[in-house]
Amino acid sequence: MVELRLPRNSTVGKGQFFPAPAGAKTVRTFKIYRWTPDDDKNPVMDAYEVDLDAIGPMVLDALIHIKNDIDPTLTFRRSCREGICGSCAMNIDGENTLACLKPIKSMEGDIMINPLPHMPIVKDLVSNLDGAYAQLRAIDPWIQADSPPPPDGERRQSIEERAKLDGMWECILCFCCTTSCPSYWWNGDRYLGPAVLLAAYRWIADSRDEHTGDRLDSLEDTFKLYACRTIMNCTQTCPKGLNPAKAIGRIKELQVERKL
C-alpha cells in the first residue's frame, strides 16, 4: 500500500566528527553517509573536515584523501577518475553525479554525500546495482541481425545512420539517471528506468539491427516503458550531458507510429 514514512532501520542518525588538522586554511566539511552490514545499527552521517589546499579539485580527491589519511574504513567505488568508468556515481549535494567530475568549489557550505538513492546499500557509498544491470541485460543490448554480415568486412552504415547513435553510445551506465527517477523509486521492479531505456533506444535506432519490432514489442508495457512520467530528472542529472528523456520520448513515438 502507500508508504509515507521511511522504514525504521533507514532513519539516518548523526555520526562521528573528524576535525581538520591544526593550521589548515581552506577547510570544507564533508558529511558522508555511513552504513555497514556488519552490525545492526542504523546509518549515520559522519562529518569530515578537509583541508582543500592539500588535495585536488574534485569531490573524488576529497574522498580519496579521507580514506587515505583520515578514516580508512570509508567505502566507495572509484576507478578511472576521469568520468568514463561510472564507478564513483553518488549523490553529492542532492544531485546524482560522478565524484570525479564534480568540482568541490562548485558547491557552497557543507557538502553532503550519499549513495545513489533508493538502491540497496552494500556498504557506505556503495549501492547495489544488480537489479539495474539485469534490466540492461533483459533488453538484449547487442546487435540482432538475421542477414549475414558481408564476408569481407563489418556491417556498414551511412554517415547519417551512424549519426543517429550520437548522444546514446556515450552512456557509461553509471545509473545516475535511473536512481534519480521518482518513477524508478516507486516501480523499479517493473519500470526499466532511463539508463536502460536509453540503451534500448540505442539498439532500436541502430540501422544495422533487424529486430526493431521485437524490441518495441518487449517494451510495450504499462510499466517497463510507460511508467516514465516525463519528470526529466534523468536529463537534468546526467553527468555526461546526455538526454535519456528524449530517447524515451522517441520510443513512445515509434510505439504510436506503428499503432496508428
Partner 1 sequence: MNAPVSPRHDVMRSQLGRARGLGSGHSGTGHWIAERVSAATLLPLSGWFVVQMFRLGGADYEDVAKWGGKPLNATMLSALVISSFYHAEVGLQVIVDDYVHGKAHVPAKFGVRFVTGLLGLLGVVAVLKLALGRPASKA
Give the span between the Cα atoms of 55 and 19, in whole angstroms.
Answer: 16
Judged by DSSP in three states, 117 sits in coil
Buried b (16+ CB within 10 A) or exposed e, 42-52: ebbbbbbbbbb
Q: Strand 126-127 to strand 111-114: parallel, antiparallel, or no bridges (unpaired)?
A: unpaired
Q: Which of 6, 22, 159, 256 binds partner 1 (CB under 8 A)?
A: 256
Q: Which of 144, 220, 240, 250 binds partner 1 (CB under 8 A)?
A: 220
| DSSP per position, 212-227 | HHHHHHHH-STTTTTT
Half-sphere exposure of 154 (CA within 13 A, CB side): 5
Give the span between the Cα atoms of 95 and 98, in whole angstroms.
Answer: 10
Determine phi and psi for 245, rounding to 5 degrees. -60, -35
Residue 219 or 247 with smaller CB distance to partner 1:
219
Interface residues for partner 1 in 166-185 (CB under 8 A)? 183
Q: Which of 68, 120, 221, 236 binds partner 1 (CB under 8 A)?
A: 221
Give the span between the Cα atoms of 145 and 211, in whole angstroms.
Answer: 7
Q: Which of 11, 42, 217, 236 binds partner 1 (CB under 8 A)?
A: 217
Does 215 contact partner 1 by CB under 8 A? no
Give the span between the Cα atoms of 100 and 84, in whole angstroms.
Answer: 10
Q: Which of 1, 6, 22, 159 binds partner 1 (CB under 8 A)?
A: 1
Does 223 contact partner 1 by CB under 8 A? yes
From 28-36, 44-52, 150-158, 218-226, give the range in contact with partner 1 by CB under 8 A. Answer: 218-226
Does 134 contact partner 1 by CB under 8 A? yes
Residue 43 is classified by DSSP as P
Judged by DSSP in three states, 66 sits in helix
Q: Which of 133, 149, 213, 236 binds partner 1 (CB under 8 A)?
A: 133
Minimum Å distance from CB 107 to partner 1? 31
Q: Which of 130, 161, 166, 210 binds partner 1 (CB under 8 A)?
A: 130
From 79-87, 151-159, 162-170, 216-224, give the range in contact with partner 1 by CB under 8 A. Answer: 216-224
CA angle 75, 80, 96 (to 5 degrees): 60
Name residue 91's beta-bridge partners: 96, 114
Does 41 contact partner 1 by CB under 8 A? no
Does 259 contact partner 1 by CB under 8 A? yes
Minimum Å distance from CB 258 to partner 1? 9
Interface residues for partner 1 in 87-126 (CB under 8 A)? none
Q: Which of 135, 233, 235, 237 binds partner 1 (CB under 8 A)?
A: 135
Residues at the site binding partner 1, with contacts judged by CB under 8 A = 1-3, 37, 130-131, 133-135, 137-138, 183, 186-187, 189-190, 217-227, 229, 252, 255-256, 259-260
